[in-house]
A = this chain, B = another copy of it.
Amino acid sequence: MLEKDDLARFPRPNVAVDIAVLSVLPRQLPHAIGSLAVLIEGEPGGRTLPGRFLREGQTISECVVDVLSVKAGMSNVRAEPRLLRAFDDPRRDPRAWTLSLAHSLTLPPRLLRGARGALVPIAAGGQLVLGEPLLFDHDAIVSEAAAAIRERYERLPDPDGLLEEPFTIAELKSLHEAVIGVRLLKDTFRRRMEPNLRPLAEADGARLLRSDGGRPAQVFTRRADLEPEAAIQRRGLLPRAAR
């Protein structure tokens, strides 16, 4: 094994952490659906995902919190970034050897009020709706992050916690429509999500919610007692006995 002095002998890369901060934008027209969106910083011609260099003594999560507070002006954010990809071309930054670790992070719109930068809608294909391409491979990061969150939102109710509990199934459906970018069927949606929701008992306080006039809806919380892996239906290759 290498000794301390040997470790110090090799050149080391700068390590940057870039973050696709995902959230949702409300519908713009009465009968439209909302949209998945990502936080972009920089002026036209130099737009990027927020990011910064990892400092000594810092975890990646701490670095992400730093990015959000220093660059986006947000504080008190719990950060559970997902690692998506590493940019490792040794010549990608002409100034110095720099490795970039691309992450995604989902934050509820409430936490993004007043953030510096623009929340840019993401199209169904994963491209940004507005403006020129981002620098580096950041457009690819956005589309990877979008594909991943969309897959998560096809299986479980609000897995990234965009919605405040409790919520109605209609609210949950609007959220999923915004994330996935497609209008969904209410009955199929309900049947898929209900096994992973817990109806709030009347004793818990406000039992029913309203929206625009109409029958009040039951409110739910996410079921935390289920393993996410056990919760999704596993129709696959395995014979019944093996499940």
Contacts and interface: CB of A to CB of B under 8 A. Distances in A.
Interface of A: 2-4, 7-8, 10-15, 53-61, 83, 85-86, 88-90, 95-99, 101, 154, 176, 180, 182-185, 188-189, 192, 236-239, 242
Q: What is the oligomeric copy number?
A: 2
A237 B14 contact: no
Contact of A97 (B56, B85, B176, B242): B56
Given A10-B56, A154-B237, 5 more contacts: A7-B98, A12-B13, A13-B15, A15-B15, A188-B237
- Say whether chain A's binding surface is mostly helix, strand, loop, or mixed: loop
Contacts of A101: 86
A136 to B, nearest CB: 13
A13 B99 CA distance: 11
Given A90-B59, A237-B192, A238-B182, A12 B14 contact: yes
A102 to B, nearest CB: 10
A180 to B, nearest CB: 7
A182 to B, nearest CB: 4
Contact of A55 (B10, B15, B176, B184): B10
